[in-house]
Amino acid sequence: MNQLGASRFKGVLFDGRFAKARPAYLILSGSTLSFELIDSPPAESAFYTAYPLREVRLSEKVENVPRVIETSDGLRFETTDPLLESALTSRAQPVLTHHWSPFRRIENSWRLAIGSAIAMTAFIVYSYLVLIPRYSVELASRVPQKVRRLLSASAHTLMKLDERDPAAVLSETAKSRFEDALNDLRINVRVIEFNRLPNAFMLPDGSAYISVRLLEMAQSSDEILAVLLHEQGHHVLDHVIQNLIESSSISALIILITGGTEWTNVPLLLLSSNYSRLHESQADDYAVLKLKEKGKDPRVLANILERMAGGLPPEVDSFDVLSSHPSFKERIARIRAVQAN
Amino acid sequence: MKDIPSSASSPVSHSIVFHGKTREFFKIWIVNIVLTILTLGIYSAWGKVRSKKYLYGNTELLDSRFDYHGDPIKILKGRLLVGALFIGYTLGGKISPAVAAVFFAILLGLTPWIIVRALAFNLSNSSYRNIRFGFKIDYRGSYVTYIKSLFITLISVGLGTPYAAYLHSCFRLNRIRFGREYFQFHADSERFFSVFIKALLFYAFGIAIFVAVILLKAKAIVAIGFVTLYLGMIAAGAWIHAGVANLNANGSGLKDVRFHSTLSGWTFVQIYLTNFLACVFTLGLAIPWAIVRTLRYRIENTKVILSDGAFDALAADSITADDSTKADAIVDFWDMDLGI
């Protein structure tokens, strides 16, 4: 503390040439300041006199970090004396200092800091629940066809999709059921091998892919239609592009908050899976609605899902929280409930 | 404090003291986050400087504090460059595997260069007692170290990773200087192996639980298996972090100054796991608490061993440096913070 009068401040001086700490006083007089070394011959202090205040710089205040005075010739004086700042800034020619005062006010006030924390939490929750889903719909609608084709072509290569000629790989019954289903659809459907697994999905350019195994599993053309109407729902509602935008937005948000990329994986998986689960339910609802419009029994979707679930190893259907799809059980129950209304 | 003349008295161990407090740092951090979000990331460069000034300024050795002098504009430049490469890689990957491969190759090829630039930026902007730290710009050394360690890791199917870590420590620590005095690093590479082997047990534990859950086909607990796997990875990372930090500090010297680090792997594992859980469950609000407690533990378990006045004779680099202006202009252009 400064107990030596308003114009003397105790601290430590570093000359910038050697790492030697020299206890010293900073002495303010008029529009200049000088340093007086403690425990050193007075002759040494003579080097450190008469610095015009306009040529020295005071470090900005960062909580309780000692304040630093730097001179143009490289001296550094550190002090914890809290009175230094007011003594320096009240002079006719104040020292240079860099202040971003509006923001420092938040730092100095608990009320503002807690207010900011609440605002930030609210912003994260709002972004997640409202903002990101809403603008991803808006943005996705503006993605040009050219980009969609490019994305689809790359997905096609990355997934090593092995397209098959339905006439060559399907049994007669499956083939005629498939052809019947196609008459009621607005999308372009291709048949793939997909390692003998039952699956169907949509790429962003509006082509749907369905596996041979799934086609063979279906017991009526309506079941195939139900699965493909679900995929058409993803297309009509533009889910694929929305998914891309949503997961990118979440990573951007996590990077902004944590300041790094190493944290993104797990929260990203947890948070964005919720969006795609919502999309699955929406596509199911779409399929149920369309089936009803066409005068068909919407339960066919539940039936084929049940059969698909039966054909899969049990652990595939168990990652409730992590999965991008709701579990089959959940979806089947939901479809049955929706169609009952 | 006394002004003590240089003398050859016997070395004494000095603690580094950390004065940072969660409640103070929280306020700095929250301002940074709010402004970073409002400015779509631009303010993060200013925020980084402010945070570092707080954390460095609260680190005290022998009654003197450390300081950080980074220029936010240079940090922003670096972030924009690395960010552009990263976005190019991520988006490129969605559009075409070839574009992603090109960006990946660029990132991979630039990594040794980026490491040097990032170290040089951060060290030359750190100071203690008005003397700047520094890092010798040695791109060739960086590429050699990087390629060597990549080769060793690949050819040994990962078993040589500890040796690669040892090579990286040698490269970095022997090129750091305080003023004009370089740090010197000597360590047995075998000790790196023992750190990694113990860390492997954490991985193994996580993997064992995960595999058991899959084999038992226990539906309800598959998610628990995943969590255990992930926590095992965090624990292994923490163990390695503590062990390597100890080896790095204990093997380093700066003229007559020695360092002694006594981080406990177990404590570090506990700190990392609780940090992770706290940050996830508070939507990130616990991040400043996690940063302060981790740093406090690290700093307060590092001792500096020196005889009286050992620092006094260490000189700033500027005394002998005859800067060639041409080289400076090139260095200046790339003088940016490339660490994200």
| Winning range, highest mean pLDDT, from A264-273, A321-330, B305-314, B324-333 | B305-314
What pLDDT does residue A265 have? 61
Q: Return the bridge partners of A8, or none.
A: A27
| A183-213 b/e (C-beta count within 10 Å ≥ 16 → b) | ebbebebebbebeeebebbbbbbbbbbbbbb
Cα B89 to Cα A96: distance, rounded to the nearest angstrom:
44
Q: Is pLDDT at A181 greater than 80 in this prediction?
A: yes
Tens digits of residue pLDDT in A274-298: 788 888 889 999 999 998 998 888 8
**DSSP secondary structure of B128-191:** ETTEEEEE---HHHHHHHHHHHHHHHHHTTTTTHHHHHHHHHHHHHTTEEETTEEEEE---HHH
Mean pLDDT of A247-252: 81
Residues of B in contact with A267 (CB under 8 A): 280
Strands A51-52 and A76-79: unpaired
Does the beta-carbon distance from B319 to A248 stay under 8 Å? no
What pLDDT does residue B328 have? 38
Distance of residue B123 Cα from the nearest chain A Cα, in angstroms: 16
Residues 6+ apart with CB under 8 A from B64: A12, A14, A21, A78, B128, B129
Does the beta-carbon distance from B129 to A21 stay under 8 Å? yes
Cα B142 to Cα B170: distance, rounded to the nearest angstrom:
11
Residues of A in contact with B3 (CB under 8 A): 20-23, 38-40
Rounded mean pLDDT of chain A? Answer: 80
**Distances, alpha carbon B289 to alpha carbons A12, B23, B260, B269, B296, in Å:** 31, 8, 26, 16, 10
Q: How far apart are the first and last CA of chain A?
A: 78
Identity of the amino acid at A330: E
In the block, which residue shows the tokens 């204990």? B250
Residues of A in contact with B86 (CB under 8 A): 261
Nearest CA in chain A to B91: A248
Considering only residues 24 to 53 of chain A, which have any Cβ-Cβ distance to chain B shorter than 8 Å?
Answer: 38-40
Identity of the amino acid at B197: I
Distance of residue B125 Cα from the nearest chain A Cα, in angstroms: 14
What pLDDT does residue A319 have? 40
What pLDDT does residue A340 have? 64
Mean pLDDT of A42-59: 79
Mean pLDDT of A190-211: 84
Tens digits of residue pLDDT in A125-139: 888 888 888 898 898
| Phi–psi pair at A8, nearest 5 degrees | -125, 130
Cα A166 to Cα A214: distance, rounded to the nearest angstrom:
12
Considering only residues 73 to 92 of chain A, which have any Cβ-Cβ distance to chain B shorter than 8 Å?
Answer: 74-76, 78
What pLDDT does residue B327 have? 36
What's the whole-model pTM score? 0.79
Residues of B in contact with A245 (CB under 8 A): none
| Phi–psi pair at A171, nearest 5 degrees | -70, 165
Q: In what order do the strands lie in the sheet with A51-52?
A: A51-52, A32-37, A22-29, A8-14, A76-79, A67-70, A57-58, A96-97
In the block, which residue shows the tokens 């990032």? B118
Residues of B in contact with A16 (CB under 8 A): 130-131, 316, 318
What pLDDT does residue A314 have? 46
Confidence class for position A77, pLDDT limits 50, 70, 90: very high
Mean pLDDT of A115-144: 88
What pLDDT does residue A2 have? 42
Helix/strand/coil (H/E/C) assignment for every residue in chain A = CCCCCCCEEEEEEECCCECCCEEEEEEEECCEEEEEECCCCHHHHHHHCCEEHHHCEECCCCCCCCEEEECCCCCEEEECCCCHHHHHHCCCCCCEECCCHHHHHHHHCHHHHHHHHHHHHHHHHHHHHHHHHHHHHHHHCCCCHHHHHHHHHHHHHHCCCCEECHHHHCCHHHHHHHHHHHCCCCCEEEEECHHHCCCEEECCCCEEEEEHHHHHHCCCHHHHHHHHHHHHHHHHCCHHHHHHHHHHHHHHHHHHHHCCCCCCHHHHHHHHHHHHHHHHHHHHHHHHHHHHHCCCCCHHHHHHHHHHHHCCCHHHHCCCCCCCCCCHHHHHHHHHHHHHC
**Weakest mean pLDDT among A200-209, A312-321, B184-193:** A312-321
Distance of residue A99 Cα from the nearest chain B Cα, in angstroms: 12
ipTM, interface predicted TM-score of the complex? 0.79
Mean pLDDT (10-residue bins), chain B, 340 residues: 52 92 91 85 87 93 91 85 78 73 83 87 91 91 93 88 93 92 92 90 82 69 73 88 93 91 91 88 88 93 89 71 37 51
Residues of A in contact with B318 (CB under 8 A): 16-17
Tens digits of residue pLDDT in A2-26: 444 448 899 999 988 888 888 999 9
What pLDDT does residue B80 have? 84
Confidence class for position A264, pLDDT limits 50, 70, 90: low
What pLDDT does residue B59 have? 94
Closest CA to B261 of B275, B247, B276, B241: B247
The DSSP secondary-structure symbol of B42 reads T
Contact present, A26 and A4 (Cβ < 8 Å): no
Q: Is pLDDT at A94 greater than 60 in this prediction?
A: no
**CB nearest to B31's CB, from A17, A106, A150:** A106
Residues of B in contact with A147 (CB under 8 A): 95
Does the beta-carbon distance from A107 to B28 stay under 8 Å? yes
**CB nearest to B34's CB, from A20, A65, A119:** A119
Q: Which region, left, alpha or beta, applies to residue A202 given φ > 0 means left and ψ of -120 to 50 means alpha?
A: beta
